[in-house]
Each structure stands twice: as structure tokens, then as C-alpha cells.
């Protein structure tokens, strides 16, 4: 195996480890989003998520809004990073061939 193939194989292993970590962290984060509604001139915040064909809303206390918002933001960042890693993984697999990294 050439040096380049060895480096790419190591990079592929690193990507796989990072993917696992990201997926595990995503399991801990909410898969919903934050919605703000004005009712009678007052702001109310809701967690909204899809369950089948319906959207379920759950009220979020104002004290918890910032924390929930950070979790949603973190989830979006991780999803973007995961997507980029998958693209990189495909490129590496193309270069070294899928059968070579199993050696």
C-alpha cells in the first residue's frame, strides 16, 4: 500500500470515528425546532416537531428558551458537519476504492 493510500485510510478511519460521535450526540439533542408565537400581544415559545402527518407543539417556559435554542443550533451544526463528512468519505472511497480500505 502506498503512503497516500495509507494516509487516506487513516483519514477514513478518523471520519468514521467522528461520524459515530456526531450520531451519538445527535441522539441526545432535540429533533424539533423552536417556534415563537404572539398571542394577545405576548410572546410564547413552543417546541414543534412532526409526528406522522401532524405537527406537535409543546410550550417552553421563557427560562428554558435560551437553552433549547442552543441545543437546536448545535443540532443544526452537527447535521451540517455530518453531511460534509459523508461527502468527504465518499470522495476518499472513490480514490482508494471501497475494497482497498477493508484490507
pLDDT tens digits, the chain, 103 residues: what are they? 688 888 888 999 999 999 999 999 999 999 999 999 999 999 999 999 999 999 999 999 999 999 999 999 999 999 999 999 999 999 988 888 765 555 5
pLDDT at 102: 53
pLDDT at 4: 82
SS (H, E, C) 8-75: HHHHHHHHHHHHHHHHHHHHHCCCCEEEEEEECCEEEEEEEEEECCEEEEEEECHHHHHHHHHHHHHH
pLDDT at 5: 82
What pTM was estimated for this model as a whole? Answer: 0.78
Amino acid at each position: 500500500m502506498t503512503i497516500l493510500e495509507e494516509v487516506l485510510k487513516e483519514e477514513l478511519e478518523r471520519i468514521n470515528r467522528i461520524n459515530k460521535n456526531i450520531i451519538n450526540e445527535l441522539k441526545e439533542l432535540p429533533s424539533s425546532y423552536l417556534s415563537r408565537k404572539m398571542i394577545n400581544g405576548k410572546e410564547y415559545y413552543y417546541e414543534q416537531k412532526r409526528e406522522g402527518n401532524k405537527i406537535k407543539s409543546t410550550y417552553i417556559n421563557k427560562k428554558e428558551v435560551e437553552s433549547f435554542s442552543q441545543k437546536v443550533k448545535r443540532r443544526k451544526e452537527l447535521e451540517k458537519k455530518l453531511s460534509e463528512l459523508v461527502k468527504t468519505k465518499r470522495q476518499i472511497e472513490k480514490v482508494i476504492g471501497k475494497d482497498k480500505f477493508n484490507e
